[in-house]
Structures are given as C-alpha cells and as structure tokens.
Amino acid sequence: MRLQQLTGIIITVMMCVSCSQFRESIHDTLYGSDTDSSYKDLPASQDEEVTTTSSGSGASVSSSTTTTTTTIEHRNGTTIIHNSRTTNGDFLSDAIVLLDAEKALRALPAFAGKSIYLYKAIHFYNDGRINVNIQHPENPEYIDEYNYSNGKWQSPKPVQLSVQDNISEALISLDNISFVCASVVYRNYNRKAENIEGAAPLTHIYGIFSANKLTWYPQSISGSRERYFISFTPAGGVKDYYRE
C-alpha cells in the first residue's frame, strides 16, 4: 500500500499544470486526501520519471536500497522516538527518501502548526545532504540555515542579512514545491546526459527562488564535443532543451 501511495505521488507531482493544482497535490502527499486521485498519462513533451500502465492507473518506481534508523531521546521525562531513512544508492534518484526528508522538516517542533517559507535557494547533493535557508517561524525578519545529513536535520544556524536584502521577494512556500521534484530533475537531466558524449552524471541540484518563483539548476549539459541548454518546470519536467 505504501509503495502504491508513493508511486501515485510522483505521477501527481508530474501532472501538475498550475500552482494551485501543484500545491493541492503536495498537500495530499503529506497530509492525505478525502478523495482518490485520478491519474493521467503525462504529456509527450515531458520526460516521464515513472512508467505508467496503459490505463494510467499504476506505475513502477526504481528506488535505491534504504535503511531506517531509530533513535530514542529522553527529554523532560518524555520519550521521543526518531526514525530516519538513508539511501545506499543515489540520494537524488530516491524519491521516497527525499519525501521522508521533507516530512521530517515539516515535523520539526519549531514549525508545528506553522507554514514553512524557503529563502533564496535549496541545494540537494547526491551524498545525502540538503542545505536550505528558511524564514524564522516567529520573526519574519530572521533567516536560519538548515542542513540535512545522515538522515536527519541538524540544529538551525542564524544567517546574517543586510538591510538591503529583500526577504519577501526571495521566499517560496514549501506548500508550493516538493523535495520529490529534485529526483524528477535528476532523472530528466541524466536521461539527456546519457546521450551526450563525455557528459558527466549529475551530483548536485539546486533551486533558486526569485520573484517568489522556483527555477531549477543546472541549466546546461556539457559534453566533450557538444553543449546543451536545459530548463525545467517547477515540478521537474523538461521545459526547454536544445544544443547551444
């Protein structure tokens, strides 16, 4: 059942054609939905990250081996159990582990009952790290740096800002994106790179937030003889791709 739900998640993310639909799909991913989702085949112009059946009702997702680690913390007489998942393969290709990292971020006590706003950029590395700046949940004029490694989020670090920094212009709600999209970008990029002589596989993906919109990087694939431009939709699908 869990695998079916997670594979459905990927299809839903890829199908999104508007900010509202995308936000709703991510909300259902994390909190559940009262109704069943209807899945359709992806447009031919987008590179698929899952293999759908002819009816569009099923899918298969390749996922690297994951390990779940349980730690027990005793705090003020209360026992708290933490479960963290790590991948033994390509972190960027593992949608399940990326989704777990996002859910773990949402579950941090500082964000209980609050919206999460990412600031300026988010970085994903194939060695299992995620770096992101987040608006302070209590003071909107503060920004904190959050780092994810070894399957868990570390304590936040304060970020020094200038009076010239326009915080509101570089914010994007976590409800409008999903960490799963990084795996979509990864798979689409590498699928193109496989056909370019001398192109190296992707090990670092990052999203830039400007004018409250998300742009994925890198936007080029360099081979030994050719160079290609590539850009992505917020959901990770290929938007433009051509030789430069």
State pLDDT tens for residues 92-146. 999 999 999 999 999 999 999 999 999 999 999 999 999 999 999 999 999 999 9
* Residue appearing with tokens 């990250």: 49
Place of tokens 């010239």: 164
Reference 218, options 209, 201, 231; nearest CA is 231
How far apart, in whole angstroms, are the C-alpha atoms of residue 123 and residue 88? 20
In this predicted structure, what is the pLDDT of residue 120? 96
Residue 153: pLDDT above 70?
yes
Nearest Cα to 99, choosing from 7, 18, 20? 7
Task: Work out the pLDDT band at 47, boundaries 50, 70, 90.
Answer: low
H helices of the chain, in order, are 2-15, 19-31, 95-106, 180-193
Determine the pLDDT at residue 90.
86
Of residues 130, 241, 122, the one with CA closest to residue 173: 122
CB 119 within 8 A of CB 133: yes
Q: Which amino acid is at 138?
A: E
Residue 41 pLDDT greater than 60, yes or no: no
Q: Report the distance separating Cα 50 and Cα 184, nearest Å.
A: 9
SS3 label, residue 31: helix
Residue 200 CA to residue 231 CA, distance in Å, equals: 17
Q: What is the DSSP letter of 10?
A: H
Tell me which of 18-22, 197-201, 210-214, 235-239 is least confident: 18-22
Please indicate whether residue 73 or residue 173 has the higher confidence score (pLDDT).
173
Inter-CA distances, 178 with 14, 52, 72, 175, Å: 11, 21, 28, 7
Percent of the chain with pLDDT over 70: 64
